Amino acid sequence: MANPRKVKQINLIIDLLTNSAHFIIIGYHQIRHQLLETIRKQLKQSNANLTVFKNTLFGKAVRRLKKNNQSVYKVIEGYLPLKQPSAIIHFHNDWLPGLKAFHTFLTKDANLQYRFGLLDSVFYPADQLETIAGLPDKRQLQAELVSRFKAPVVRVNYSIKFPVAKLLLILKNRR
């Protein structure tokens, strides 16, 4: 008979994989528990959760997905079996702040790595996740766009004002 705790964990993994449109699988190796808890807290502030799982239980959960959810299974099956300790980060609504929060830890610690992820129901391998995490967020892009539209107007304004101001200065000095 199956262990009830393990069945509960398998069901939790299945729920995370099927009900979340945004999740990434990460790998970690020889990492201190204190750092893992710090990552957890930072992700929670970014509206994301980190769940550590056993690779064998993840494999069993994915095999169960084969029966229920073919699309998710087809994507994940190429990455099985997972070799090193793994965890899943699932995002609630906006996934970019959580991805960036994890990416800051990833750049500091070489023992963390991306495996693969599903963001907005689109599959991304590790290298693409790293590229996405390095992109600026939406507000920063909007600010850059506004400043680029504003820059020519400001230059035109100064090019009109400068000769007039120079003429007034010359006239003032002639008195």
> Which segments within 59-101 are labelled E, that is strand?
86-91
Which architecture characterizes domain 4-135 according to CATH?
2-Layer Sandwich (3.30)
Mean pLDDT, range 11-39, rounded to an integer: 85
DSSP 80: P
Burial of 138 per CB tally in 10 Å (0-12, 13-18, 19+): exposed
Tell me if residue 72 falls in helix, strand or coil: helix
Tens of pLDDT, residue by residue over 60-106, are 888 887 776 666 666 677 777 788 888 889 888 888 888 888 888 88
pTM of the prediction?
0.74
